Amino acid sequence: MSFSPHTDAPEWFQRAVLNQPSDHWVEVDGCPIHYLRWGPASDQPGLLLVHGNGAHAHWWDFIAPFFAASHQVVAMDLSGMGDSGHRSTYEADQYADELMAVIGHAGLDTRTVVVGHSMGGFIALRTGARYGHRLGGVILADSPIRPPDYEWKSSSPIRKKKTYPNKEAALARFRLLPPQPCANQYIVDHIALHSVVEVEGGWSWKFDDGFRSPFHEGPRCEDFKHLSCRCGVLNAEYSSVVTPEVERYMFQSLDERVPFVTIPECHHHLFLDQPLAFVAAVRTMLAEWTHSQPHRQLYASGTET
């Protein structure tokens, strides 16, 4: 898709989104899975970017190019979202298989790090629990691992879809969920542009409104015990989902084996609020992992091949 960057956007953003990726598909259990790739195949380590619930790969358009010089960067559409196919049901382990299928199809190796935002972090964690021996690490971006007795109300962005008379009417209805302010409207507009599709009778959203999250009760902290790759945590200072109680639980569960970084002045959609700070935090974590060894033995070896 060709497009012009938002005229009010800063120069760095305009440069980033003009660095357009190529489109690719791989079939997983009968469902076509779409992913984007920035740059050609190389011998660089892989970086797989995974969006959250109801989102899509183009959420990473302005982030991915910052890593293209040092990594083979891909971003995927999970099944039921973006330009990937839909399923009758959605399972956590099947999502882990989708991530590994994209990694394999893109030719990425065992140095690959998966960065997952929100629900994408849950899937990254499950993938690391099952296939960690085939990954370099996973980074959770504002993905809340809640205590077993934590009381919370789900706020899924998946709603019954409406059909709008034209593209402009659909774009005008785009909202971030969970709700939050975002001063960078040019980013929100860019994401909205890739969230809609022409359908019979007008325009609507790309996601499957029959989607039911396999993480309704939240991911189990047990998955951490089965990781055989590194793990890092990036949280938003004003997150509505990673509350202080949740963050304390995650920190206590992971101990000093996992670096925790809180990005200031941002909400749950942290790389929309503070994109360059997010890039810097991920770059720092990747660089540290490249030049150091874990100061503890990694978790149990992976259980899948």
What is d(CA 234, CA 103) in angstroms, rounded to the nearest whole number?
22
* Residue ranges with strand state E in the chain: 22-28, 31-38, 46-50, 72-76, 113-117, 137-141, 196-199, 202-205, 230-236, 260-263
Which CATH superfamily, name and number, covers 22-150+227-290? Alpha/Beta hydrolase fold, catalytic domain (3.40.50.1820)
Q: pLDDT band at 2, cuts 50/70/90? A: very low
Rounded Cα distance, 103 and 116, in Å:
14
Kindly tell me if the per-residue pLDDT of 267 is higher than 90. Answer: yes
Q: The pTM is what? A: 0.93
Confidence of residue 1 (pLDDT cuts 50, 70, 90): very low
Segment 5-20 shows an average pLDDT of 89
**Over the stretch 183-224, which tens digit does the pLDDT of each residue have?**
999 999 999 999 999 999 999 999 999 998 888 665 567 787
Over range 60-82, report the average pLDDT: 98
Buried b (16+ CB within 10 A) or exposed e, 87-97: beebebebbbb
Q: And the tokens for 193?
A: 């542009």
Task: Quote the tokens at residue 168.
Answer: 């402009």
- β-strand partners of 92: none
Strands 22-28 and 31-38, sheet pairing: antiparallel
Query: Rounded mean pLDDT of the chain?
Result: 91
CA–CA distance from 263 to each of 230, 268, 304 (Å)?
Answer: 20, 10, 34
